[in-house]
């Protein structure tokens, strides 16, 4: 009850007692209603107890959930930005070796290794499935042609195996080029001299592989080379 001091009501104490009583009554009704609902829905005593403990919690509205999600995204972006600003660049540089694609090869051996690793026929067909620019195609042809000279400049027998391996690689890569998007359109942009350089490369592959029309043992290779020649001779 409210206290009385010197014959006067303590209105502040009375107000406080009323607020406490109303809050207890509110919690009692919420808890009682939750017990009546949970007794039919709870699968275990723990579920029932958890339902009752949460009886007086205020439901979260959809708008509050959206605001919470937005604030969480902002906090994550802020953390990521802060992390990027504090990256130790000295340590990051140590992770980049000479094999990194951004570092030009220092020797012909490194060039061949990088070229073979990064310019595989399946990768070329996939990367340029939409279209292969004619200038880029000519650069590929020029690299392949120059490599024949670099591998066996003196036409030595000892270097023939390297030359033979490059011929097989060139055959597969040129076949991949013919499968790129808009290949016929790319060929239409070539001048007569440019088209002749491609045909010359195909002939060089034919020469290195030692394929002849009357050689039945290499019939599959002959068919591949003939098909390749027809594709580039259009």
DSSP states of the chain: ---EETTEE-HHHHHHHHHHHHHHHHHHHHHHHHHHHHHHH-SSHHHHHHHHHTTTPPPPPHHHHHHHHHHHHHHHHHHHHHHHHT--HHHHHHT--TTSTTSPPSSHHHHHHHHHHH--HHHHHHHTSS---HHHHHHHHHHHHHHHHHH-TT--STTHHHHHHHHHHHHHHHHHHHTSTTHHHHHHT--HHHHHHHHHHHHHHHHHHT--TT-GGGHHHHHHHHHHHHHHT-
* Per-residue pLDDT at 123 exceeds 80: yes
Residues 6+ apart with CB under 8 A from 112: 147
Percent of the chain whose pLDDT exceeds 90: 8
* Per-residue pLDDT at 201 exceeds 70: yes
Percent of the chain whose pLDDT exceeds 70: 69
pLDDT tens digit sequence for 138-181: 988 988 888 887 777 776 656 677 888 888 989 999 999 999 88
What's the full length of the chain, in residues?
Answer: 234
What does the pLDDT read at residue 87?
A: 46
What does the pLDDT read at residue 196?
A: 92
What does the pLDDT read at residue 32?
A: 86
Residue 87 CA to residue 182 CA, distance in Å, equals 44
pLDDT tens digit sequence for 215-233: 445 568 888 888 888 888 8
What does the pLDDT read at residue 109?
A: 62
| Interval 182-188 mean pLDDT | 88
Measured at the alpha carbon of residue 169, what is the angle toward residues 211 and 130, in degrees to the nearest 5? 115
| Interval 131-139 mean pLDDT | 88
What does the pLDDT read at residue 182?
A: 87
| Interval 41-60 mean pLDDT | 79
């Amino acid at each position: 009850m409210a206290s009385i001091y010197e014959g006067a009501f303590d209105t502040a104490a009375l107000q406080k007692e009323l607020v406490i009583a109303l809050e207890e009554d509110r919690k009692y009704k919420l808890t009682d209603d939750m017990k009546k609902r949970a007794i039919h829905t709870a699968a275990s005593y723990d579920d029932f107890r958890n339902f009752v403990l949460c009886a007086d919690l205020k439901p979260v509205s959809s708008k509050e959930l959206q605001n919470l999600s937005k604030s969480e995204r902002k906090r994550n972006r802020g953390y990521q930005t802060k992390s990027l600003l504090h990256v130790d660049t000295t340590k990051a540089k140590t992770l980049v070796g000479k094999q990194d694609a951004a570092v030009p090869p220092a020797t012909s051996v490194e060039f061949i290794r990088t070229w073979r690793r990064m310019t595989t026929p399946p990768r070329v067909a996939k990367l340029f499935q939409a279209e292969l620019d004619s200038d880029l195609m000519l650069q590929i042809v020029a690299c392949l042609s120059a490599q024949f000279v670099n591998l066996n400049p003196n036409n030595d027998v000892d270097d023939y195996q390297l030359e033979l391996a490059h011929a097989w690689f060139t055959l597969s890569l040129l076949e991949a080029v013919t499968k790129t998007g808009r290949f016929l359109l790319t060929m239409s942009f070539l001048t007569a001299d440019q088209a002749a350089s491609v045909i010359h490369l195909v002939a060089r592959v034919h020469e290195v592989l030692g394929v002849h029309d009357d050689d039945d043992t290499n019939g599959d290779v002959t068919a591949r080379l003939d098909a390749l020649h027809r594709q580039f001779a259009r």
